[in-house]
């Protein structure tokens, strides 16, 4: 009796739900500009207030809500200003070598109807530069001396020095904020201000609602001054991790998963008949960082990794090409230095240390690291050649790499212990120098200047140069590269800098992932800009003959 009634009840409930669904899915939007796109996001933003939001999902959403003065083009060229696309600024001109003048588009409006003015630009710069706001973008603006308004539609940027990426620095890091909305809010309360959860922007989309832990919904601004967006509604649906996000795209509950990351996910997405796969340049590289200072006292050298020759030997013991092939297939490349494929300085011909275990063994022998006690691990003065590799437990890929590295080091008599801990603990330990080695990932913005300097020069001590790599020759080359105006000369200088760094082996550069996105096949004109996939989302569209139920829904 019971066995028969339970399935009947299930069928009954399904029929009820289906019946109700049929009632709900009535008529609705049928022409152009009707689509709905659901993105399966792997995290929920803390806030949508641009100076306080550094996380990727917040940036994707802010792309739709808040405009920059101009933005990099699909070429990702950051030198000069010729490849930049106007947004809030209709045009610009140089008024002397250190002064840049922007003329705002008079059609630009905040979504509450107020015009966007040069006062907003000035207010924005001051806010980003205020230590109380604690914006992560503040260090990137240090070469801009001031921003003032000449008139209501003219903003003037003055720089401290002349360099090729002045324009990039002026426009890329800041999204213009509505002064009339934010000026009354004390800056030490910006992180908790309601504006961050119900923003009023000037972009192609308007904020509709934020359902905590569920979704954020935006709707197209049909009066947007740069043209009506092709998709009517955008929804970011929050999931707790990558696997759940990929599963939602495969199950047709989401239209976009912008990064699939692993070969298994790509295969699963390829098998889903409604999804199309797009590959674009990645902006992340992963490396094994050697800490050159002692973990218990950062004023002292590390007993193993302060020795350049030992670092070189370890780097030569790792077959990076085979590791990429076995772990990631065609989804990644071996980076020719600390860079992702996004950067224009990427050049596979940059000289790197070869994979040569015989040479690695010779170097270690020469440095006195031999297996004196026959336990299979080299030692010197009673100290074994052994260290820990730190990485976050949540990264399956880094765990896989840690095990591969462990094997390769073992082959030359080096013991590497795997040390998987929580992400927050990794952050704390690398920031305070309490590690031997760590498998870290870095994302690049399109410019090599800020990221490389911050992570690999003295400027990054106490910042993101966690391994405390320090080579004045490298820094001189970087300094020259970032101030050279000619692209070919800059490229040559960057190459020389990278070769100097590679010879010092401050880390082993393991892989640079290509980004692979899964997007619903009904979506047309899909363009994914490598540094920010959602930057030109407003140009995507869904032709009327491909609309599905969720595109037509009217509320």
Partner 1 sequence: MGAAWLLRRLLASVAIIFAVVTFVFILIHVAPGRPCPETVERAVCEELKRQFGLDRPLPEQYWRYLVALAHGNMGNSYANGRPVRAAIAGTIPFTLQLAGAALVLDFLLGLGLGIYQAVRVNRIPDVVLGNVTLFIYSLPTFWLALLLLLVFGEKLRWFPVGGASDPVLCPVVHSLFCVADRLWHTALPAATLGLVGAAGTARFQRAAMLEVARQDYVRTARAKGLPERRVVLRHQLRNALLSFVTRFGLAFPFLLTGAVLIETIFAWPGMGRLAFDAILLRDYPVVTGTALIASVVVVAGNLLADILVGLADPRLRVRAPTDVEVVTA
SS (H, E, C) 341-395: CCCCCCCCCCCCCCCCHHHHHHHHHHCCCECCCCCCCCEECCEECEEEEEEECCC
Question: What's the CA angle centered on 138, arms 84 and 426, to 5 degrees?
Answer: 110
List the structure tokens of 304: 């193993």
Comparison of 222 and 394: residue with beta carbon closer to partner 1 = 394
* Contact predicate 102/69, CB 8 Å: yes
Comparison of 17 and 396: residue with beta carbon closer to partner 1 = 17
CB of 465 to partner 1, least distance (A): 11
**E runs forming strands in 222-283:** 231-238, 256-257, 275-280
How far is the CA of 213 from the CAs of 61, 243, 292, in angstroms? 15, 17, 41
Comparison of 136 and 368: residue with beta carbon closer to partner 1 = 136
CB of 330 to partner 1, least distance (A): 25
* Contact predicate 460/440, CB 8 Å: no
CB of 51 to partner 1, least distance (A): 11
CB of 269 to partner 1, least distance (A): 12
**Residue 523 DSSP SS3:** coil
Comparison of 134 and 411: residue with beta carbon closer to partner 1 = 134
Comparison of 10 and 527: residue with beta carbon closer to partner 1 = 10
CB of 274 to partner 1, least distance (A): 11
Helix residue spans in 25-109 (DSSP H): 56-65
Binding site for partner 1 (CB under 8 A): 2, 13-14, 16-17, 20-21, 23-25, 36, 38, 44-47, 54-55, 131-132, 134-136, 138-139, 188, 191-193, 196-197, 209, 211-215, 217, 233, 235, 237-241, 244, 247-248, 250-253, 421-431, 440, 443, 462-464, 550, 553
Burial class (CB in 10 A: 0-12, 13-18, 19+), 131: exposed
Comparison of 426 and 536: residue with beta carbon closer to partner 1 = 426
Comparison of 289 and 502: residue with beta carbon closer to partner 1 = 289
Q: Any residues with CB less than 8 A from the CB of 251 and at least 6 apart, and which?
A: none
Comparison of 196 and 282: residue with beta carbon closer to partner 1 = 196
CB of 235 to partner 1, least distance (A): 5
CB of 292 to partner 1, least distance (A): 18
Comparison of 33 and 152: residue with beta carbon closer to partner 1 = 33
* CB atoms inside a 10 Å sphere around CB 325: 13
d(CA 235, CA 38): 5
CB of 192 to partner 1, least distance (A): 4
d(CA 117, CA 147): 13
Question: What's the CA angle centered on 512, arms 265 and 436, to 5 degrees?
Answer: 105
**Residue 237 DSSP SS3:** strand
CB of 7 to partner 1, least distance (A): 12
């Amino acid at each position: 009796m019971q066995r028969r009634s339970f399935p009947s009840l299930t069928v009954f409930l399904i029929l009820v739900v289906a019946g109700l669904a049929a009632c709900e899915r009535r008529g609705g939007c049928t022409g152009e500009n009707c689509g709905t796109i659901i993105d399966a996001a792997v995290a929920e933003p803390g806030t949508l207030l641009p100076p306080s939001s550094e996380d990727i999902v917040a940036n994707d959403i802010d792309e739709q809500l808040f405009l920059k003065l101009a933005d990099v083009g699909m070429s990702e060229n950051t030198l000069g200003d010729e490849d930049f696309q106007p947004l809030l600024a209709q045009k610009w001109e140089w008024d002397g070598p250190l002064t840049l003048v922007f003329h705002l588009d008079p059609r630009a409006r905040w979504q509450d109807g107020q015009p966007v003015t040069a006062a907003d630009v000035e207010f924005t710069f001051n806010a980003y530069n205020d230590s109380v706001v604690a914006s992560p973008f503040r260090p990137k603006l240090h070469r801009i001396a001031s921003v003032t308004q000449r008139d209501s539609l003219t903003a003037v940027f003055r720089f401290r020095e002349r360099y090729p990426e002045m324009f990039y620095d002026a426009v890329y890091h800041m999204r213009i904020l509505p002064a009339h909305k934010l000026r009354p809010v004390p800056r030490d309360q910006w992180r908790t201000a309601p504006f961050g959860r119900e923003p009023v922007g000037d972009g192609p989309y308007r904020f509709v609602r934020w359902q905590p832990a569920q979704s954020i919904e935006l709707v197209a601004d049909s009066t947007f001054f740069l043209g009506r967006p092709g998709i009517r509604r955008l929804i970011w649906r929050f999931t707790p991790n990558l696997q759940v996000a990929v599963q939602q795209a495969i199950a047709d509950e989401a239209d976009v998963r912008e990064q699939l990351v692993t070969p298994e996910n790509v295969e699963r997405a390829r098998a889903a008949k409604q999804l199309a796969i797009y590959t674009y340049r990645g902006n992340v590289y992963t490396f094994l960082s050697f800490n050159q200072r002692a973990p218990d006292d950062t004023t002292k050298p590390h007993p193993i990794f302060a020795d350049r020759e030992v670092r070189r030997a370890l780097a030569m013991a790792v077959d990076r090409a085979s590791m990429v092939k076995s772990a990631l297939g065609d989804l990644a490349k071996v980076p020719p230095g600390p860079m992702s494929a996004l950067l224009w300085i990427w050049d596979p011909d940059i000289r790197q240390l070869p994979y040569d275990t015989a040479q690695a063994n010779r170097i270690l022998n020469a440095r006195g690291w031999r297996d004196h006690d026959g336990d299979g691990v080299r030692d010197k003065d009673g100290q074994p050649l052994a260290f820990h590799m730190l990485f976050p437990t949540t990264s399956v890929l880094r765990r896989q790499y840690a095990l591969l590295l462990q094997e390769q080091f073992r082959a030359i008599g080096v013991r590497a212990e795997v040390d998987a801990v929580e992400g927050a603990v990794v952050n704390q330990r690398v920031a305070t120098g309490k590690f031997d080695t760590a498998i870290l990932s870095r994302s690049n913005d399109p410019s090599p200047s800020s990221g490389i300097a911050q992570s690999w020069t003295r400027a990054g001590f106490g910042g993101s140069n966690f391994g405390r790599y320090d080579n004045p020759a490298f820094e001189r080359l970087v300094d020259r590269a970032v101030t050279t105006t000619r692209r070919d000369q800059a490229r040559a200088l960057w190459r020389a800098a990278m070769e100097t760094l590679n010879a010092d082996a401050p880390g082993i550069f393991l892989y640079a992932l290509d980004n692979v996105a899964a997007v619903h096949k009904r979506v047309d004109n899909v363009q994914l800009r490598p540094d920010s996939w959602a930057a030109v989302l407003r140009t995507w569209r869904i032709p009327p003959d491909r609309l599905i139920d969720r595109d037509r829904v009217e509320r």
